[in-house]
Structure 1
Amino acid sequence: MDWGSVAGLVLALLGILVGQLLEGGRLGSLVQPTAFVIVMVGTFGAVLLQSGWPTVKRGLRMAGAAFRNQPDLHRLHAADVAMWSQTARREGLLSLERFMDNSDDPFITKGLRLLTDGIDPYKLREILGIEISSYETRERKAARIWDAAGGYAPTIGILGAVLGLIHVMENLSDPSRLGAGIAVAFVATIYGVGLANLVFLPIGGKLKSAVNDEVTRLEMLADAFCCIAAGDNPISIEERMKAYER
């Protein structure tokens, strides 16, 4: 768990709630289920229309990554790459076949399989490059749904406020209901702006950073596979891997 991200979200929400109390307001006045439904459902519908269900579903599944620590896999992979390169140099590329069964990473398994098949280094780079490009395009497209939600939510919040004001205007004959009705109307704007800037946009930024880290990891592995296929010296490969350290 990335406690820094969790703490950031909690602090942002506390700032708003404490500010409401300091202004003499009641926390209960910020709890308006109708406004919440308008903003959330309206925003989700707009994002769904823009991106389509498969992309939205993938983006929702990615959300958890914003609150998880991203492990530094460089050191682990660097040790693996050193072992692969030394084994290939001593025993040949076919000896790498035994490492395929020990990996649960599809990209590593594919790279090792291509190595044992004796694929030309340039062709190997092309195949793995296509794999990385496809992954990056797919994941970035999914992560962008949070940026889209951050763009739509404030506008949907304004629509919710207008709907609330329309309801207020319909009850002008009862002055006692006007103040509370107007307050409820503007809560929708708070929800829209607050969710956009405190939740949707930060999650989108965090996910894009996670995609960048994963693409760098895949590029490092692809580079290593190509170097092994070309028969480079293990020491040279190890020095090359150091360039990918965070």
Structure 2
Amino acid sequence: MSSILGILLALLAVGLAMVLKGASLSALYNPAAYIIIFGGTAAAVLIAFPFNEIKKFPALIKIALFQPKLPSKANQITSLVQCAEVAKKEGLLALEEIANTTEDPFFKNGLELIIDGNDIEFIEEVLLDEVAAIDKRHKTGALIFSQAGTYAPTLGVLGAVIGLIASLGNLNNVTKLGHSISAAFIATLLGIFSGYVLWHPIANRLKRISKQEQEAKLLIIEGLISIYQGLSPTALEKKLSIYIPPKERLKNEKKNKVETHDQTA
């Protein structure tokens, strides 16, 4: 929701600034400028990227505006500690029941690799390769928006030039000339606005979401490898707690103490 709020705030700021400067908001109604900027940006992106990557554009917009809820790191650590407890008491093969019930495909794949008895180097390599593949896909998606943000301002200059060429036909009419010059720079405004308030920020948003997702998967890899090596549940919890901010870590410790007290009472 913060992305939508940011876009609305940017529109409000630009609109308010135009009013305070004495510019009419009606000047923004310039179909030609919108065609040059958004149509031109779309054309440039289509030239730069294959269609199988471009078709993901709507899904990427949805991800950026409505960030998918990632699993809590605290909950992930709790799940991994539970796996360590099961493995310690019943052996690694007992993790099969957890693997069959988990909804996280990455976590399930890691558990299955352990259950199948693969060596630790192979398990780590497979899981890290999957993270690398995810990173590559996400970078491609973010690059589409980064490139759009690069093209849009330049197309704004192109739109201004086209508008100024059109205004030369009104040199004998001062009123029309002023209106034509004003309209010419609307394309520049739209190009800069869309490039630096929409496309570049969305690219950065996607990169941040990708980083958070990869961090969650690296936590799982760390936990699974430690379970395979026979690390105790208590030691595993302490080892993985570095992934949680200090304040949240303290909160979880207090919560665990309360739960332990309730169970022993």
Normalising by structure 2, what TM-score? 0.86
Equivalent AA in structure 2 for residue 25 of structure 1: A
- Any idea what the Cα deviations from partners look like across 1:160-180, whole Å, max 9, x if unmatched? 111222222345465543222
Alignment of 1:45-56 (within 5 A): 45-56=43-54
Residue number in structure 2 paired with 1:209: 208
Residue number in structure 1 paired with 2:139: 140
Residue number in structure 1 paired with 2:73: 74
* One of 33, 55, 66 as aligned partner of 2:31: 33
- Any idea what the Cα deviations from partners look like across 1:213-245, whole Å, max 9, x if unmatched? 111011011111111122222222111211111
Residue number in structure 2 paired with 1:157: 156
Measure, in 2, the Cα distance between the counterparts of 1:72 and 1:143: 22
Please give the secondary structure, in 1, of the residue aligned with 2:56. Answer: helix
Measure, in 1, the Cα distance between the counterparts of 2:46 and 2:3: 26
- Any idea what the Cα deviations from partners look like across 1:87-124, whole Å, max 9, x if unmatched? 11111112111122322222112111111111111211
Equivalent AA in structure 2 for residue 79 of structure 1: T
Unaligned runs of 5+ in 2: 246-265
Alignment check: 8 A CA contact 1:85 1:234 kept: yes
Deviation at 1:31, TM superposition (A): 2.0
* One of 10, 20, 31 as aligned partner of 1:22: 20
Q: Within the alignment, does 1:240 sit opposite 2:239 as a pair?
A: yes
Alignment check: 8 A CA contact 1:118 1:229 kept: no
Measure, in 1, the Cα distance between the counterparts of 2:58 and 2:143: 11
Measure, in 2, the Cα distance between the counterparts of 1:221 and 1:17: 47
Q: Within the alignment, does 1:191 sit opposite 2:175 as a pair?
A: no
Measure, in 1, the Cα distance between the counterparts of 2:14 and 2:107: 46
Deviates more, 1:163-172 or 1:16-25: 163-172
Equivalent AA in structure 2 for residue 135 of structure 1: I
Q: Within the alignment, does 1:220 sit opposite 2:219 as a pair?
A: yes
Deviation at 1:139, TM superposition (A): 0.6
Alignment check: 8 A CA contact 2:70 2:213 kept: no
Equivalent AA in structure 2 for residue 37 of structure 1: I
Unaligned runs of 5+ in 1: none
Residue number in structure 2 paired with 1:111: 110
Deviation at 1:36, TM superposition (A): 0.9
Alignment check: 8 A CA contact 1:163 1:185 kept: yes
Alignment check: 8 A CA contact 2:146 2:200 kept: yes
Deviation at 1:16, TM superposition (A): 0.8
Please give the secondary structure, in 2, of the residue aligned with 1:243. Answer: helix
* One of 60, 63, 66 as aligned partner of 1:62: 60
Residue number in structure 1 paired with 2:262: none
Equivalent AA in structure 2 for residue 155 of structure 1: T
